[in-house]
Every structure is written in structure tokens, then in C-alpha cells.
């Protein structure tokens, strides 16, 4: 096989046809780099194929996949309780997914949202541990600032080696996740362990002044407002500001951006601070609005799931909201199928299958079949 470069495509032709062999295929396969931005229907097909593939595994385990999926949908969206729980799960997914999307805008592959989430949760908890008697109007803002700063700092630890030492951000952001998780284990099993917690690895329970207000009698907290405001700001900045234009230009063509005088290294630093800060805010919301304490396993993998959310949404603000609610529903639906004998990890299997088919769809979208003239 040989390659010939043309404007906008890379045709793959048969060698024999170039040498004057006795046959010539009527069609040829081309690789179209622009095809990486696959249309919306590719996403729909990818989700459908993921459900079919997972349905086969469910059927092999002796369960009716239609019954299982129906149970998941009803558990996540079929009641007020299920819907509010879905939104509770969607809040950290939306904030982390938004942070990941901002980094992806300039082709910085931040997969460290999990560690940034945990860093934010620990920093927010530190306020409750060392300043336990602050009133709500001081403690909540202080916890938010601490969470954002800690998450941003954790993101900066990835950006600095990338900028100045050419260290791949995939490696550093992933490794820093484990550093944050080990630090979490240290504090909840060590200095911050609740002496009245019956040996449970967690900090003391937060007081009312340290907890985010909730809506009515549900667990849905005002972190939802933080997430929506963050999405609106993201949409406005990317579309209507000069900085947003520079981000889009860097993502589309970094060489053109560099030639235009844009300092890419500065943007990388700023973007990673913002990306980590959003994940840190999500961590603050989880400990203050949901768990009301820092504990072992505070995150069920929100930072990793956020990568799929950003990919599914194609970095679009509305898509981020829809994808976050969808994956929040998957998590809650996974809990509901435990009542029929399936493990809650089925939601993780579906998430992984969706990502697999999304990547496959993106790759397939690069190929075009052209008729030979």
C-alpha cells in the first residue's frame, strides 16, 4: 500500500493499479483528516451500539437486557427521588467534564481531574478541621476558594513539566491522581480521622455551617447552581471573547496561533489552572453538599468519567449538560439494578462501551469511499 497526499485527504490506492495491472478498482479508500470531527449521528450510533454490546453480555448472564435497561431508566428518572439523585451525580461530572473540556480546547490532554477533585475535597475539609467555628457566610466561601485553589495547583503541577521540560501531560496528570489518592488515604486514616467515628476512615462530620444548602428535603444542593453558572461562563467566553478565540485557534492550528503571536505556553498554564480549579470545586461540593465529611473513596471515579462526558459532548456546553445528566443517570441506574441481582458496576461497563464506540466512530469518520474517475 502507498500513500499520496492531496488537499484535505490521503488516498490509499492499490499498487498494482499504478503499475498497469490488468484490473482497476472502481472505488478507492481515502483518509480524510477533517473527518475526525464526526457528526452528531455518529454519537447516537455509538451509544446504540454500546447498549447492544452490553445487552449481549447481560443476556449471556441470563437476564433480559430490555428489563435491565428499563429498570435503570426508571431508577434514574422515574421518580422525584431518582431524578434528584441523578442531578446530584451530574454536578461533579459537569464541573469535572467542563474542566477537562477547557483543557481539550487547546489539545492539552488532562486526565488528572480525579486527582484535582480529591485535592479540592481535601483543601475544603482542611477549612473545617483547622477553622471549625467559622459561620456559614465565611466557611462556605473559604471552602470554595480552598477547593478551587488546591485543584488549580494540582493542575499546574501538570502544566509546568509540560511547558518547561516537555513532559507528556498524560503521564504527569495520571500519576498525580495516585499521589492525591494516597494523600487522601493518609489524612482520613491519620491526622483527620474522626475519633468518634468507630474506626471509620473519615474526618469528623461537617456542621450545618459547613454544609451547602439543599433544595427541600432532597440531597440536591446548590452546587448545581455553581455548575450551571460555570457552563454559562464557559459558553460565553469561548464564543464571544478574544481569549476564547485564541483557545479555538490554538486547538485548530497551534502553528498558526504561534505565528499570530499567541503565547501557547501561557495559555497552557492558565487553562490547566482553570481546569483543575473546576474539578477542585466539584470536590468541595461533594464533601460539603453530599458526604458532609471527607472519607475514603470520596470519588467513585468522577474525574475519569468526566473524560467520557467531555468526549461525548464534543466540548459543547449544552452537550456537557446532557452528557452529565446521562452519565449521572447511569450511575444511579446502576444502583437500582442491584435489586434484580446485577452488580452496580454494570453502569461502568456501559460507560466504557460508550467510550470505545465513540473512539471507533471517530476513527471510522476519517475514512471516505470515493469513485475513481
Whole-number pLDDT of residue 306: 95
Whole-number pLDDT of residue 367: 61
Give a three-class secondary structure readout of the chain.
CEECCECCEEEEECHHHHCCCCCCCCEEEEECHHHHCCCHHHHHHHHHHHHHHHHHHHHHCCCCHHHHHHHHHHHHHCCHHHHHHHHHHHHHHHHHHHHHHHHHCCCCCCCCHHHHHHHHHHHHHHHHHHCCCCCHHHHHHHHHHHHHHHHHHHHHHHHHHHHHHCCCHHHHHHHHHHHHHHHHHHHHHCCCCCCCCCCCCECCCCCHHHCCCECCCCCCECHHHHHHHHHHHHHHHHHHCHHHHHHHHHHHCHHHHHHCCCCHHHHHHHHHHHHHHHHHHHHHHHHHHHHCCCECCCCCCHHHHHHHHHHHHCCCHHHHHHHHHHHHHHHHHHHHHHHHCCCCCHHHHHHHHHHHHHHHHHHHCCEEEEECC
pLDDT, the chain, mean: 88
For the domain covering 80-341, report its CATH number. Answer: 1.10.3470
Whole-number pLDDT of residue 366: 63
Q: Model pTM?
A: 0.87
Whole-number pLDDT of residue 33: 41
Whole-number pLDDT of residue 197: 85
**Residue 340 grid coordinates:** 434484580
Whole-number pLDDT of residue 42: 80
**Residue 148 grid coordinates:** 478551587
Residues of the chain with pLDDT under 70: 1-38, 364-373
CB 231 within 8 A of CB 317: yes
Amino acid at each position: 500500500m502507498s500513500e499520496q497526499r492531496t488537499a484535505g485527504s490521503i488516498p490509499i490506492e492499490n499498487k498494482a493499479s499504478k503499475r498497469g495491472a490488468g484490473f482497476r478498482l472502481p472505488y478507492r479508500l481515502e483518509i480524510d483528516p477533517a473527518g475526525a470531527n464526526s457528526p452528531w449521528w455518529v454519537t447516537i450510533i455509538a451509544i446504540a451500539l454500546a447498549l447492544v454490546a452490553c445487552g449481549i453480555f447481560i443476556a449471556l448472564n441470563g437476564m433480559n437486557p430490555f428489563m435491565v435497561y428499563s429498570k435503570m431508566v426508571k431508577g434514574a428518572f422515574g421518580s422525584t427521588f431518582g431524578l434528584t439523585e441523578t442531578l446530584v451525580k451530574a454536578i461533579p461530572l459537569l464541573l469535572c467534564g467542563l474542566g477537562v473540556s477547557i483543557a481539550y480546547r487547546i489539545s492539552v490532554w488532562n486526565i488528572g481531574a480525579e486527582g484535582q477533585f480529591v485535592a479540592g475535597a481535601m483543601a475544603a475539609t482542611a477549612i473545617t478541621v483547622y477553622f471549625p467555628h467559622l459561620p456559614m457566610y465565611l466557611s462556605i466561601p473559604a471552602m470554595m476558594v480552598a477547593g478551587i485553589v488546591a485543584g488549580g495547583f494540582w493542575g499546574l503541577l501538570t502544566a509546568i513539566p509540560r511547558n518547561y521540560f516537555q513532559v507528556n501531560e498524560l503521564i504527569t496528570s495520571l500519576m498525580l491522581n495516585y499521589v492525591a489518592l494516597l494523600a487522601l488515604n493518609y489524612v482520613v486514616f491519620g491526622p483527620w480521622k474522626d475519633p468518634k467515628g468507630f474506626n471509620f476512615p473519615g474526618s469528623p462530620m461537617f456542621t450545618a455551617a459547613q454544609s451547602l444548602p439543599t433544595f427541600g428535603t432532597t440531597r440536591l444542593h446548590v452546587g448545581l447552581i455553581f455548575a450551571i453558572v460555570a457552563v454559562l461562563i464557559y459558553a460565553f467566553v469561548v464564543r464571544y471573547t478574544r481569549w476564547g478565540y485564541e483557545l479555538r485557534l490554538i486547538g485548530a492550528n497551534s502553528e498558526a496561533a504561534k505565528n499570530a503571536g499567541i503565547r501557547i505556553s501561557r495559555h497552557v498554564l492558565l487553562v490547566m489552572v482553570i481546569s483543575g480549579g473546576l474539578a477542585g470545586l466539584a470536590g468541595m461540593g461533594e464533601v460539603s453538599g453530599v458526604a458532609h465529611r471527607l472519607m475514603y473513596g470520596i470519588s467513585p471515579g468522577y474525574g475519569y468519567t468526566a473524560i467520557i462526558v467531555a468526549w461525548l459532548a464534543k466540548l459543547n456546553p449544552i452537550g456537557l449538560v446532557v452528557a452529565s445528566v446521562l452519565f449521572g443517570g447511569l450511575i444511579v441506574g446502576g444502583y437500582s439494578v442491584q435489586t434484580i441481582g446485577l452488580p452496580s458496576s454494570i453502569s461502568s461497563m456501559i460507560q466504557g462501551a460508550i467510550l470505545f464506540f465513540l473512539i471507533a466512530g471517530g476513527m471510522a469518520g476519517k475514512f471516505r469511499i470515493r469513485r475513481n474517475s
